[in-house]
Amino acid sequence: MTPSPLPTRALGSYSGIEVGAIGLGCMGMSWGYGAAERDEERSIAVIRRALELGVTLIDTSDMYGPFKNEQLVGRAIRGRRDQVVIATKFGIMRGDDSSFRGINGRPEYVRACCEASLRRLGVDAIDLYYQHRVDPDVPIEDTVGAMAELVKAGKVRYLGLSEASAATIRRAHAVHPISALQTEYSLWTRDPEDEILPAVRALGIGFVAYSPLGRGFLTGQIKRFDDLAPDDYRRNSPRFQGENFTLNLRLVDRIRHLAAEKALPAAQLAIAWVMAQGEDIVAIPGAKRRQHLEENAAAARIRLSQADLASLAAIAPKDSAIGTRYPQANMRYLNG
């Protein structure tokens, strides 16, 4: 039986972008979670299945791979362009060996990245173009000004920012309307609630929640540090290391037990919580397998009661996760 189409949500109050309430984050198909997990043909099948389900927001970046993920997405959407809202990003520089080379928001870099992404994706225009991280050395007005030129040229339809501070969002929005802000948000990462969500809501900007499953930890499937592949980047994440891992596992166990009481997978409960935080939020969980994609998409139809939300607030209160989101060297680029 074919499931009914996903409910849709608008990205912001004025942009006109309407997408499936849950999107698909494609990073793990090409980068981050270990080479053994990558299978291009399987990933292409997952993306195409997502479109069948009404998952229309497909999220990628030039740094995933690097460069390979945009090519993969381009192959997957060929002949299906009218079914997809493509979101990609620029700004994090990586070498061919995936080594970090810094953050770049210079106007000439913006233009060059856009041209390269268009070629890799095989499209005439990018629907939603994000600055992946704010460059602390380039005024946001200069970066967004260059992005606005891409809109005027018809190469980009809407603009977004990722991991930007409330002050930066306001400055950027004054240069050109920002349609969406993408920032990590989940039961174990709730700092957007302090300033970011109030700011985007005041400006009519949509909110895209990445890592709503806490990089897979909130699924309950990761039980030991050694469950992570030797080349999995999560091994470098403070939340996955040492005593932090053990303490965070207790948090996940509480979420998993509540999900079991509701006869839900823990992943669905975690995504449903994100979706319940506002009709202006679109979550983009990653999935590399059809089973996980379908499970995640089904969370869009789950309605949590006030009692459910109260139970989650009790077992997973704000700031209950132990450890920073990224290694210390990377934290300076968050909420930039």
Residue 48: burial class (beta carbons within 10 Å; 0-12, 13-18, 19+)? middle
Mean pLDDT per 10-residue segment, the chain (336 residues): 76 88 97 92 98 98 96 98 98 85 96 98 98 98 98 98 98 98 97 97 97 97 94 95 96 96 97 97 97 98 97 95 93 89
Strands 206-210 and 126-131 come out as: unpaired
Active site residues: 64
Residue 79: burial class (beta carbons within 10 Å; 0-12, 13-18, 19+)? exposed
Predicted confidence at residue 14, as pLDDT, reads: 77
Q: Which tokens belong to 74?
A: 């381009």
**Considering only CA atoms, which of 111, 117, 181 is closest in space to residue 152?**
111
Task: Provide CB contacts within 8 A for 227, sequence distance 6+.
Answer: 221
Are 128 and 162 in contact, with CB atoms under 8 Å apart? no
**Considering only CA atoms, which of 10, 13, 8 is closest in space to residue 205?**
13
DSSP three-state, residue 97: coil
Predicted confidence at residue 1, as pLDDT, reads: 40
Predicted confidence at residue 3, as pLDDT, reads: 54
Residue the block writes with tokens 């090519």: 71
